[in-house]
Chains A and B, each alone.
Chain A
Amino acid sequence: MKEIIRFEVNGRPASLDADPDRMLLWVLRDELGLTGTKYGCGEGFCGACAVLVDGEPVRSCQFPLKSARGKKVVTIEGLAVNGRLHPLQEAFVRHNVMQCGYCTSGMIIAAYGLLRKNPRPTREEIIRSMEDHLCRCGGYMRIIQAIETAAQEMKKGVRR
């Protein structure tokens, strides 16, 4: 059942001898030690496990390893470049967004996916795009503000 699956994680090649039907979340957390991606509900309802696959946010708890074959996976650990936080991460810090922080990785990944497609989203577009990401601490207001700030910053022509 096992087979060798190669893909890229945060810019580095990864090669695993594993069951291709395993979900990417557990491969990242248990085999590759990338624990920044969180388990929240296991059924794709909450978004805590979001990662980027070829730039698109996916729910890694519902994303089989075989679908990552040959692709570029970016997790929250891979967003900073040379130790410098991504503008989204900086904006989340600046707005004191985080309370418990458990949904944060998924929120930032989802926002990254949004800004990649739509660099200047309206507030309504942010809400629509983030709707299926849950935060129990109730931090939505600051998350929206942080995404708006990051969009402004990125428009100024900084990285990515």
Chain B
Amino acid sequence: MKRREFMKLAGGGVFVFFTVGEPWDWLEAQQRSGGRDYPTDFNAYLRIAEDGKITGFAGKAELGQGTQTALAQIAAEELDVALDRVDMVMGDTALCPWDMGTFGSRSIKYFGPALRQAAAEARGVLIELASEHLRLPVAQLATKDGFVQEKVNPQNRVSYGTLAKGKMIERHLDPKPPVKPPSEYAIVGKPADRKDAVLKVSGRAQYAGDIRLPGMLYARILRPPAHGAKLKAVDLSGAERTEGARIIQDGEMIAVLHSSYDLAEGALSKIRAEWELPEAAVDDETIYEHLVKVASTGDVVEEKGNLEEGKKLAESVFEESYFTPYVAHAPMEPHTATVKIEGGSATVWASTQRPFGLQEEVAQALGLPLEKVRVITPFVGGGFGGKNRNLQTVEAARLAKLAGVPVQVAWSRSEEFFYDTFQPAAVVKIISGADASNRLVLWDYDIFFGGERTSQPFYDIPHYRILSRGSWGRGGAGVHPFEVGAWRAPGSNTNTFARESHMDVMAAKAGLDPVEFRRINLKDERMKRVLAAAAARFGWTAAKAPSGRGFGVSLVNYLNTYVATMAEVEVNKNGAVKVKRVVCAQDMGRVINPDGAKAQIEGCITMGLGYCLSEEIHFRGGAIRDLNFDTYEIPRFSWLPEIEAVLVENRDLEPQGGGEPPIVNMGAVVANAVFDATGARLNRLPITATRLRAALPPRY
């Protein structure tokens, strides 16, 4: 009897299936993911093998953020086994429960509880089995280190593996066993070594481009010089003469396939193509004016009170605009996919953040039913939002179908820049007001195409309106000259740069210390707590800016993770900024792996220096001018500030996200520190030496 039929016959309720051996056949897996929602049977999450090894299944991808380790910690904790007894299989559409995608700092926050409940239920089933095995009532049993044991006589015990041996057991626990109270945690909340570390230091960790299949060909694809360019004429003869090269034309796509990547590339370079370029309408200087011009009247994101009322109360009014450019994801691993089609089924290895979404795209491109496409997500060499889109995989799938052999498409660095879904360029206009006691009374906030996330004020403001003018994402025809998308903490880097810069503009005018000005306007206790924690570690003393010290502060509530960041910078006469020190205090609820969380903070701070100081895509119309790391500068070793990560304990709150929040403050904290050092305020990112030099006071 198929499991689904069994469930139907048996009626409603929650079923806990305890299964041993290798039951992961295709059909069952599809039943598990068929609902396109997190399933309720724990088999979808866990398997306990006869040797007692536990395998966890997660539809998430390991992009480097360390969820493979933190999720294993969660399962090991509930099951009372050592961390090294749990392995996680991630992002495999045939084995793992359906998942929406790995973005928004959601893996631990939303998937963690499902895994935790499943593990608790598995533990409950193991205790019931042991009760039969040991002939003791359940109440007299406890679990420890992979065994179920008698409480009063721990020697009387049976291992999980023994309980699992040679049986096919299906159980239904009612009521569901409770999860462990956090006060009993022994694994969660303790620093854990990454489970992928040894594979990664020894070169054995497989990425999508490391897949090697018999007969596999590498495809290089002819690319236009600009988005929107049309192919006028093409001469393939040079490529055709290359030994071992196959040329495939499919509609607009022209690809050269070869058994070696570089030889495919060599053949591609012999193709002569003529392109018709569309007229360039905007470039990286005119884009902001363009965005404001094409924006809609907008939708209210959130509002309170009445702006007119706020204006009446305001003693002083401030009006500023803030600008953030297109920013590239630039993961070290470019988009890559390997596709094999055999017997009417496709297997896909892809560097993706959305394995299940990709499964649908590939099925559609190949005209196959969903269950005939399996997406396997090997290790992913960084995503940051850029690998939500998987054009390369659809290309590989089309080519594998036409070529009749497995095909790998691995984008070059220039393709990676060209087809990136950049963080959208955006404008924020703020009109704010404060009363005579420096309390915010007015906050009139318009975002142009930047996205809404973290635009809602956490300061105590009686009259405010947040207006989103031009939606986030593609924005509609005639807005962006190329694709845009989610970039680590989408919308928030722009909104927080604007909000927190503006707070400092107001504080400076009022002659108040920026931390003091924020305190006056904060009621949120969690925010006050992280601010205090950051100030204590940083050694912040009150002074109005510009104080010459080069100190800056910025705050954010990113999807319920609270972050306070402080920085110290040095600016030389040429306008070059050196960020010397960054302190980041974060309240992310209960922390699963403190060392992993700190690594995310360090990584976010380091990566975030790029969008503060150098990262900006230069373009003219659809032609991208930055196509490698020579002109698109990302942070290097010498940029590294002293970093101090402070995890502000909050054990009463369920785990929140940690992969994005610490990057959000970076724009404003540096801009504010630069103002404090020099008196020059830049409302546009990045703060390049050229721009800052032009803004520096004459005798700086």
Contacts and interface: CB of A to CB of B under 8 A. Distances in A.
B328 to A, nearest CB: 10
A30 interface: yes
Nearest to A40: B332
Interface in A1-56: 22-23, 25-26, 29-31, 33-43, 45-46, 48
B196 A101 contact: yes
B75 to A, nearest CB: 20
Contacts of A142: 599, 602
Interface residues of A, number: 60
A58 interface: no
A98 interface: yes
A130 to B, nearest CB: 5
A136 B607 contact: yes
Given A45-B630, A138-B604, A93 B210 contact: no
A108 interface: yes
Given A30-B218, A98-B197, A100-B380, A77 B637 contact: no
Nearest to B603: A138
B679 interface: no
B637 A140 contact: yes
B15 to A, nearest CB: 38
B600 to A, nearest CB: 8
Contact of A92 (B201, B330, B410): B201
A89 B202 contact: yes
B642 to A, nearest CB: 9
A138 B200 contact: no
- Tell me the dominant secondary structure on chain A's binding face: loop
B630 A43 contact: yes
Contact of A140 (B197, B199, B261, B606): B606
Given A43-B630, A141-B602, A136 B330 contact: yes
Interface in B204-250: 204-207, 209-210, 212, 218
Given A35-B203, A37-B203, A96-B595, A136 B332 contact: yes
B201 A42 contact: no
B338 to A, nearest CB: 12
Nearest to A25: B262
Given A75-B203, A96-B194, A130-B637, A102 B603 contact: no
B390 interface: no
A101 to B, nearest CB: 3
B381 A100 contact: yes
Nearest to A133: B637
Nearest to A108: B201
Counting chain A CB atoms within 10 Å of each CB, the highest count among B194, B332, B599 belongs to B332
Given A30-B261, A101-B379, A133-B637, A35 B210 contact: yes
A104 to B, nearest CB: 5
Given A46-B332, A134-B332, A96 B201 contact: no
Given A101-B196, A102-B381, A35 B206 contact: yes
Given A30-B261, A138-B602, A138-B607, 8 more contacts: A22-B262, A33-B212, A92-B201, A101-B381, A102-B381, A104-B200, A139-B606, A143-B637
Interface of B: 63-66, 193-194, 196-207, 209-210, 212, 218, 259-263, 330-334, 379-382, 384, 410, 412-413, 595-596, 599, 602-608, 628-630, 634-640, 643
Interface of A: 22-23, 25-26, 29-31, 33-43, 45-46, 48, 75-77, 79-80, 85, 89, 92-94, 96-105, 108, 126-128, 130-144
